[in-house]
Structure 1
């Protein structure tokens, strides 16, 4: 049984009114109903919190940009930020609040793959759009019915790039060390396959998280005589692994990912421990006007790709709802219009939300590219245009090697 609420009543009244009223009622109705709420689940604390503060700040800049441009058909947006504590259980509680209590139309953020895997069913079952920066391939292989959009490269792509980099510097024998995550075994399989095809060897070990020492695991890895060790953990456990590798006298190559090997890690270790450790980083579109505008607004010299994605999660939701010009702002409306404002063949390329909203109001098609890069999504919701950069710890500082 469906109850008759204010929205249903007004919709019926509009249908029964004059042609002029019927033409104008969606905009008028939307303006009367208060702000459109968008949720953000961000790791402000815990093992994956190194980008959390910047992520939150970037989302708030997006809100200011949208509202300064008049919002969605005159209706402001509001972003509600929840801390997932780098923990799936806390993320589930946050998602339930955002969906059930706050009635958000979309959730953005969602950084760690374990967090995203936990909240994804809550989102698509409630018909709430989920924008995620997680890499685990399994996330978009769920029966999400189009409600998930990934703005970060997949584990398959990241693992392939790390493997290719390691082979490119002459490594022959690879060993992966990382905690149990939704992507750990995938990394082992992907990178090992590349090494075996190149005539080398590949193996791995998945360890228990939050240990004071991984010397046993390090010794097991070193028995395989690797000339490259791939670090698949987050900052806390990767720091411990690097200390144990240093104590064990390992002098070979070390390669990791931005969630574990970054300036936060380098700051917390003696320079000689992190020295030479390379990191693969999903990069923002650093040469774009959108990126340069965002870092100017945030008063920063540079910004990580994940925080740029947070900005884009808010803007994608906004433009999708504006494009629909529907009486109701809900997850299904957002889902059905994301591609209409972001695909390469969608319309005029635009990087500024105010310009995009103006074009949409004029019934013109737009193709939004943000500070994180092009935002064209394939059939299962994975972004197709991505950038990477490679950085290396040198004397305690992460130093750019190349962008590719």
Structure 2
């Protein structure tokens, strides 16, 4: 069976390479007449590729995330770029679909030949492209909440994960449930890698805190009705049930749950902190229910005021300043929480390239090399550089001074694999048609991890 599996995978790989070659050939013949974006690209620009959901079920977030990255490109270019070379963002649409998104990823890598890739939001697409990232040895920046785990060492390809891991999210959710007095929990989780991982970490950590995890229920997204899954999850009569899913499916579930009489109590996963979710559930149906998402307060803005209760207090000046910066650029629009992280992804790439050019006379030829430079720059002992003054930061980097980055979403510090370390998660609740932040949660769950 193992040999058959290897032959099957190898055959798929050959077929895919053939498709890629055909795409490259056709694109080369037609690029002069079919690529309006080429005329928008500044001469000699450093191009960063991005795959975002501009259409399909997740389309509500795509444009907002692109706006954050375009703002970052403007900011690092205005700060001097790479020895005067501007940065440029080349975006493609994932269509919120695996097959169509893969076609666009292939074009970014093999037609546009980007050396730096940001996204996609979709977990399965990010996993699908892993062999190509490794083969081409590019830098793959993963800002999305649902980005795959990168706990592996590779000799080629550089992966960097900016959002909290499922373990950090599960830790925060378990603490919220436990401190709210829940004795038993379970989850209703979509059958995708990210939702399942968050669900598993949540129930495991809750058990480690002294509570009891009841059987959880999974479902496939895209169904017309989730009534049977809802019934199965709440049949266990848990004190709290985690809803771990993407907004489209979750909104349908909450609507059906409301119609069925609102049994039980929800706990909400981080992907649900989005306006499109609130807009598609019955008004007031989730008022008072808690959720968690990445904190947008810098670590230096937070203090643990009660170590026993692990009560955390944070200020939000940095996030508010970025929101104002974003709104000024985009005619009053507000950045989604994830947009802060996407902005930082672009700046981290630029900082690594500028520092490498200054200290070695050249930019890294491999994604793995650039990842190591970014990791080393963000060591805790280095001087802090803020997104608010990139002109000064870039000048110091060009002088060969290493700087760690205090960005729009976090003060960055990476583990040996390139995953950002998170110490605080933001707890929130829902009040009518708005999310309301409440006391943050310390991410300090060990449980053998």
Find the residue that maps to 2:130 and give its secondary structure: helix
Between the aligned partners of 1:260 and 1:47, the Cα distance in structure 2 is: 14
Structure 1, residues 283-339: CA drift from partner, whole Å, max 9, x if none? 323757754443223215853331111111111111111111143564435224212
Corresponding residue for residue 190 of structure 2? 179
Corresponding residue for residue 342 of structure 1? 378
Counterpart among 113, 119, 124 of residue 134 in structure 2:
124
Between the aligned partners of 1:331 and 1:294, the Cα distance in structure 2 is: 31
Corresponding residue for residue 302 of structure 2? none
Between the aligned partners of 1:357 and 1:366, the Cα distance in structure 2 is: 9
Q: CA deviation at 1:361?
A: 1.8
Higher mean displacement: 97-106 or 53-62? 97-106
TM normalised by structure 1 equals: 0.84
Between the aligned partners of 1:203 and 1:171, the Cα distance in structure 2 is: 15
Q: CA deviation at 1:39?
A: 0.8
Alignment of 1:241-320 (within 5 A): 241-285=253-297, 287=315, 291-299=319-327, 300=332, 303-320=335-352
Structure 1 portions without partners, runs of 5+: 1-31
TM normalised by structure 2 equals: 0.76
Q: CA deviation at 1:38?
A: 0.5
Structure 1, residues 80-114: CA drift from partner, whole Å, max 9, x if none? 11122222333322222122122222111332322
Structure 1, residues 255-287: CA drift from partner, whole Å, max 9, x if none? 112313433211222213333332211132375
For the 8 Å contact 1:46–1:85, the answer to whether it is kept is: yes
For the 8 Å contact 1:147–1:335, the answer to whether it is kept is: yes
Between the aligned partners of 1:37 and 1:263, the Cα distance in structure 2 is: 31
Corresponding residue for residue 327 of structure 1? 362
Pick closer, same or farther for the CA change 1:51–1:314 going to 2, 3 Å. same
Corresponding residue for residue 147 of structure 1? 158
Counterpart among 202, 205, 220 of residue 191 in structure 1:
202
Pick closer, same or farther for the CA change 1:291–1:260 going to 2, 3 Å. closer
Structure 1, residues 220-243: CA drift from partner, whole Å, max 9, x if none? 112211221111111111111112
Structure 1, residues 95-154: CA drift from partner, whole Å, max 9, x if none? 221221222221113323223222233223211111112446853035544601111000
CA RMSD between the two structures: 2.4
Pick closer, same or farther for the CA change 1:133–1:327 going to 2, 3 Å. closer
Find the residue that maps to 1:391 and give its secondary structure: strand
How many aligned residue pairs are there? 373
Between the aligned partners of 1:125 and 1:183, the Cα distance in structure 2 is: 25
Structure 2 portions without partners, runs of 5+: 1-41, 299-314, 442-449
Pick closer, same or farther for the CA change 1:277–1:52 going to 2, 3 Å. farther
Counterpart among 109, 126, 147 of residue 119 in structure 2:
109
Find the residue that maps to 2:77 and give its secondary structure: helix
Q: CA deviation at 1:187?
A: 2.9
Pick closer, same or farther for the CA change 1:98–1:329 going to 2, 3 Å. farther
Between the aligned partners of 1:362 and 1:181, the Cα distance in structure 2 is: 46
Corresponding residue for residue 173 of structure 2? 162
Corresponding residue for residue 391 of structure 2? 354
Corresponding residue for residue 370 of structure 1? 407
Pick closer, same or farther for the CA change 1:359–1:380 going to 2, 3 Å. same
Between the aligned partners of 1:77 and 1:137, the Cα distance in structure 2 is: 24
Pick closer, same or farther for the CA change 1:227–1:249 going to 2, 3 Å. farther
Structure 1, residues 161-193: CA drift from partner, whole Å, max 9, x if none? 111111211122222112211133333332222
Counterpart among 429, 436, 439 of residue 392 in structure 1:
429
For the 8 Å contact 1:373–1:386, the answer to whether it is kept is: no
Corresponding residue for residue 26 of structure 1? none
Find the residue that maps to 1:60 and give its secondary structure: helix
Higher mean displacement: 393-402 or 231-240? 393-402
Higher mean displacement: 335-344 or 284-293? 284-293
Find the residue that maps to 1:203 and give its secondary structure: coil
